[in-house]
Structure formats: C-alpha cells, structure tokens
C-alpha cells in the first residue's frame, strides 16, 4: 500500500477544501444531510451488561472455565470487543464542487479494513481500493476510507460490503462511475474448516461508466493494482 502518496493527496485535498466556495459546500452538506442522518440512525443499540452475561453463558457452555485467573473478566472484554466491531461511527460525507473540472479517476488504494463474517462471527480483514470518476462534485479523499470503515462496522459478507460502499458512493456523489475492489482473508476459512492459510478472496463492484466502458474499467483495475 502507498500511504505516503495518500497522505500527500490528503494535504492537497485540504488545500482544495480551503479554496472551495463555502456557500456551495454548505449547499452540498444540506443535500447530503439526509442520507448521513439515515445512516447514523441505523447504528445498533448496544446493551453491554446483557452481552456480557450472554458471553459468560456461551463460554461456560463450551467448557471454558471462567473462574481461572485471566478469564474472569473475559466475558466483559468480549462484549466490549464486539461492541467496538459492531458500532459504526456516524458518517458524514461532504462533497465539493469540481471547480477544476477534474475528469480522471480518483482512487484511494490500500485502505485497510477489518470486519466480522456474519456466518461465523469470525474476523475477516484486508485492503480496499475505492475510486470514482468525478462529475460535478468531488469528495474529500479521507471519506473514501471512512465509507469502508462505516460499512465494515457490522456483521458482513465481503460481497455485500463491496456493494454497499460502491452504491453509497454512487448515490451520494453522483460521479460518472464508481468502483470498489476488496481483497480479504477470512479467518473462518483460514483458521478453521478447510484451513486454507493464506487464501484471499477478491470482490469487486463497478457502477456507471466504470461498468459500461471497457477502457475506463481496464484503467480502474490497472490503477487499483488488479488484473482486468
């Protein structure tokens, strides 16, 4: 992954932000306030004491003795750990007018993510490449990583996570095209079951021109570091 490039781009983004027409930016926020609020509302209500009691029962049922030193606080730690994995931070996307008329792909590569598979509740983690072809508006670059983080904060399948990030980007920013590629290692496949250590799963969702135009599609996959 190329963090130095990303940091540099983020600095440029801040400069763009300072130059952006503020009235326009406020308009854009109003435009996006509704989906942002809707997303914040679906955050789960977390009941830690009940989760802790259930974790204690779960471990006891599997023969784990909680009276041993080091394990007595484990149910509480388990509850807090899963609460952290399932608790998305509110997401607020702000777009800016594309005053420079930038019409090439914008891609954030190597965004690390972690989530939990909804089938086994075991972690899966990897990297995301998220990009779009701007139209009227551009998005703060850090928001591409925040989008992945937001949708990863719940039990997931890799397929759904890929699609949710792409759909949301497409619906909120109205780009000409949007693309998401995720590559992840699922511990439910590498540590148990077939124990396919080192196996990774790749998923992609392409929308708009990235889906329809073979050249844009090939360019996206090349820049995302994937074979088309």
Contact residues for Zn ion (CB under 5 A)? 117, 119-120, 188
Residue in the shown chain whose Cβ atom is closest to Zn ion: 188
Residues 6 or more apart whose Cβ sits within 8 Å of residue 193: none
Q: How far apart are CA 133 and CA 206, in angstroms?
A: 11
Pick 117 or 139: Cβ nearer Zn ion: 117
3-state secondary structure of 13: helix
CB of 122 to Zn ion, least distance (A): 6
Pick 54 or 188: Cβ nearer Zn ion: 188
CB of 192 to Zn ion, least distance (A): 9
Of 222, 132, 144, residue with least CA distance to 177: 132
What are the start-end ranges of the H helices in 174-208? 187-190
Pick 153 or 173: Cβ nearer Zn ion: 153
CB of 88 to Zn ion, least distance (A): 20
CB of 199 to Zn ion, least distance (A): 13
> What does the DSSP assignment read for 24-68?
HHHHHHHHHHHHHHHHHHTPPPP-HHHHHHHHHHHHHHTT--TTS
């Amino acid at each position: 992954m190329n963090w130095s490039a990303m940091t540099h781009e983020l600095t440029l983004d801040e400069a763009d932000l300072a130059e952006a027409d503020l009235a326009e930016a406020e308009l854009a926020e109003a435009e996006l306030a509704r989906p942002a609020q809707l997303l914040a509302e679906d955050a789960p209500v977390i009941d830690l004491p009940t989760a802790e009691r259930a974790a204690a029962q779960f471990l006891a049922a599997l023969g784990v003795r909680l009276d041993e030193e080091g394990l007595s606080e484990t149910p509480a730690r388990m509850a807090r750990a899963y609460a952290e994995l399932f608790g998305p931070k509110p997401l607020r996307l702000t777009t800016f007018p594309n005053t420079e008329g930038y019409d090439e792909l914008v891609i954030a590569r190597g965004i690390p993510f972690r989530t939990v598979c909804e089938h086994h509740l075991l972690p899966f983690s990897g990297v995301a490449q998220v990009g779009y072809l701007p139209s009227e508006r551009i998005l703060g670059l850090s928001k591409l990583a925040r989008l992945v983080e937001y949708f990863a904060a719940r039990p997931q399948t890799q397929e759904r996570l890929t699609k949710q990030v792409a759909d949301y980007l497409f619906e909120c920013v109205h780009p000409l095209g949007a693309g998401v590629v995720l590559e992840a290692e699922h511990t439910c496949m590498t540590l148990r079951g077939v124990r396919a250590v080192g196996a990774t799963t790749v998923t992609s969702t392409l929308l708009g021109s990235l889906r329809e135009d073979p050249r844009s599609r090939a360019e996206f996959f090349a820049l995302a570091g994937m074979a088309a």
